[in-house]
């Protein structure tokens, strides 16, 4: 086979594991980012979309063979397993488990079937055999302190509950980010900064983060509105993560509720356009059904608590929780800003960012807005074919089929990779740039005061005039606001500005 479900294989091969299960049982589920296949060659090369194993790895061509192959070589895919378990009779799963009742993959399959379906199979409890984790920690992110299941002789190291348990694969990119220890780098950098500069940097970064979060949504907030949202961001980590807190945050974000119903949606929803002639919806993303919002959000909250206490890297938890929230889209409006607030909440709760300092991830997202939107579309677009919907009289959507699993069991790997990259950029670029500017301003201000009796407002005006004119005081400024300065004094001011602000990014000066 050269093409599988419109996905081209790097060389002719037979799909195996999850790919074969999806095809054979016509499972209605998005394809994973990577599938497995068996080519004829004994030295195949895998790609991002295809894991190619050698002919000696070829599984037995049966439900049992492909399930064991999938769990061994591809890890746990809850979305596919959930769809499969709804398609086949429980007796077939029982038969597979009883073939090798003490086997690692039999016991993992057994646990996952009962965990996902809530149905207890007619199988006696496992005997005395060494317990193994449900997730292979070399392949996927699990918690460190999972619960032991005596019935299955497994340790449940899944990072979330049944209602919300996205999974993350340990890709080379994620392994590298984790090894870099970005938290330590930020702490070491900020530990060397003058306390006054650090205090001012925290205030500037907080306000900038608030404004950037609004600007991502196409809004230009007033100073008061940006300050109120900044205060909410500053409190992130110190409040409990509850549905009532999400609703409180929405009330801060959406001040005018005449056209927006506050609180959890009471109907289905979508993100996208409307047909110009008919007004019918053209969805780019369809939100979770409103009937599923409570269990999904309760699952999000439980996932955050369980995974953080279980030792999962905070950036991975933040990505899964925040992107899970915005994919669920529980409110008519305000979801995006609360989604970004959740990033700050998780990082602060885990003490990942230095106390009193926020990482300006929204500023990075705004700067890389097209990439940010690609991350969102990478989740939303593959889901659309699996959601049955009809337009309503109000040109909204009504979802007809059960879709909760699409929001409960998505692959959060890409979201985690991108958030790690954005956090890396805040630590290696935004923080140093902001600190460099403020330290330069402190030195410039001190230098001015050493020579002139000049109030803070005038020093700031002088700095702005110089920044807007390439470090030179314009003829207008010389003849008006700073007419008292002599030529020698102006030369001193311009030389001081050049010495202090050399190396500071130009966007801070203009």
3-state DSSP assignment of residue 411: strand
Residue 411's DSSP bridge partners are 167
Q: Which stretches of 25-135 are DSSP H helices?
A: 63-73, 78-87, 90-99, 104-117
Contact 142, 167 (CB under 8 A): no
For residue 149, list its beta bridge partners: 154
Q: How far apart are CA 78 and CA 55, in angstroms?
A: 27
Task: Give CATH for domain 172-255+268-428.
Answer: 1.10.3290.10
65-69, 171-175, 220-224, 342-346: least confidently modelled range: 220-224
**pLDDT tens-digit series, residues 407-461:** 999 999 999 999 999 999 999 988 888 888 998 999 999 999 999 999 999 999 9
Pure H helices in 142-292: 172-180, 182-190, 195-216, 223-235, 243-253
- 136/72 Cα distance (integer angstroms): 9
Angle at 495 between CA 494 and CA 501, to 5 degrees: 85
The DSSP code for 427 is: I
Query: Which residue reads 């055999």 in tokens?
Result: 129
Please report which residue ranges of 270-334 form alpha helices under DSSP H: 293-309, 314-328
Report the distance separating Cα 214 and Cα 364, nearest Å: 13
Residues shown for the chain: 510
What is the pLDDT averaged over residues 184-200? Answer: 85
Give me 243's structure tokens. Answer: 């549905």
Contact 364, 419 (CB under 8 A): no
Report pTM: 0.93
Write out pLDDT tens, residues 5-40. Answer: 999 999 999 999 999 999 999 999 999 999 999 999
Domain ranges of the chain: 3-132, 172-255+268-428, 452-508
Asked whether the CA dihedral 333, 336, 339, 344 is positive or negative, the reply is: negative
């Amino acid at each position: 086979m050269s093409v599988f479900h419109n996905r081209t294989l790097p060389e002719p091969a037979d799909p195996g594991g999850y790919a074969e299960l999806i095809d054979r049982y016509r499972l209605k589920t998005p394809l994973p980012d990577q599938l497995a296949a068996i080519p004829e060659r004994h030295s195949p090369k895998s790609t991002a979309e295809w894991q190619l194993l050698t002919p000696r790895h070829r599984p037995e061509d049966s439900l049992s063979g492909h399930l064991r192959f999938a769990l061994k070589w591809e890890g746990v895919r809850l979305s596919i397993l959930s769809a499969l378990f709804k398609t086949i009779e429980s007796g077939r799963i029982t038969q597979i488990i009883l073939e090798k009742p003490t086997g690692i993959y039999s016991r993992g399959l057994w646990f996952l079937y009962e965990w996902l379906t809530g149905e207890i199979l007619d199988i006696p409890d496992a005997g005395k055999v060494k317990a193994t984790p449900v997730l292979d920690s070399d392949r996927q992110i699990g918690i460190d302190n999972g619960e032991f299941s005596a019935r299955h002789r497994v340790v449940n190291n899944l990072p979330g509950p049944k209602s919300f348990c996205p999974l993350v694969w340990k890709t080379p990119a994620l392994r590298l980010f984790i090894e870099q220890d970005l938290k330590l780098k930020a702490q070491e950098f900020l530990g060397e900064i003058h306390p006054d500069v650090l205090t001012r940097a925290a205030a500037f970064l907080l306000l900038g983060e608030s404004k950037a979060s609004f600007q991502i949504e196409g809004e230009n907030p007033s100073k008061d509105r940006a300050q109120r949202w900044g205060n909410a961001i500053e409190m992130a980590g110190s409040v409990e993560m509850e549905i009532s807190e999400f609703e409180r945050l929405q009330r801060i974000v959406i001040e005018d509720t005449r056209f927006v119903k506050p609180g959890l949606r009471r109907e289905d929803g979508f993100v996208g356009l409307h047909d110009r002639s008919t007004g019918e919806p053209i969805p780019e993303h369809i939100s979770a059904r409103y009937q599923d919002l409570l269990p999904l959000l309760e699952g999000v909250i439980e996932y955050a608590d369980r995974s953080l206490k279980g030792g999962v890297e905070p950036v991975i938890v933040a990505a899964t929780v925040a992107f899970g929230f915005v994919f669920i889209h529980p409110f008519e409006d305000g979801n995006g800003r609360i989604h970004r607030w959740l990033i700050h909440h998780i990082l602060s709760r885990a003490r990942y960012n230095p106390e009193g300092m926020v990482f300006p991830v929204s500023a990075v997202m705004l700067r890389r807005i097209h990439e940010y939107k690609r991350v969102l579309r990478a989740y939303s677009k593959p889901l659309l074919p699996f959601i049955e919907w009809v337009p309503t009289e109000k040109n909204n959507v009504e979802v007809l089929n059960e879709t909760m699993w699409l929001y409960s069991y998505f692959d959060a790997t890409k979201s985690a990779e991108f958030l790690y990259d954005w956090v890396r950029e805040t630590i290696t670029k935004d923080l140093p740039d902001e600190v460099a500017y403020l330290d330069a301003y402190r030195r410039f201000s001190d230098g001015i005061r050493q020579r002139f009796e000049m109030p803070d407002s005038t020093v700031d005006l002088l700095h702005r005039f110089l920044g807007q004119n390439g470090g030179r005081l314009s003829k207008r400024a010389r003849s008006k606001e700073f007419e008292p300065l002599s030529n020698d004094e102006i030369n001193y001011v311009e030389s001081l500005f050049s010495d202090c602000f050399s190396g500071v990014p130009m966007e801070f000066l203009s």
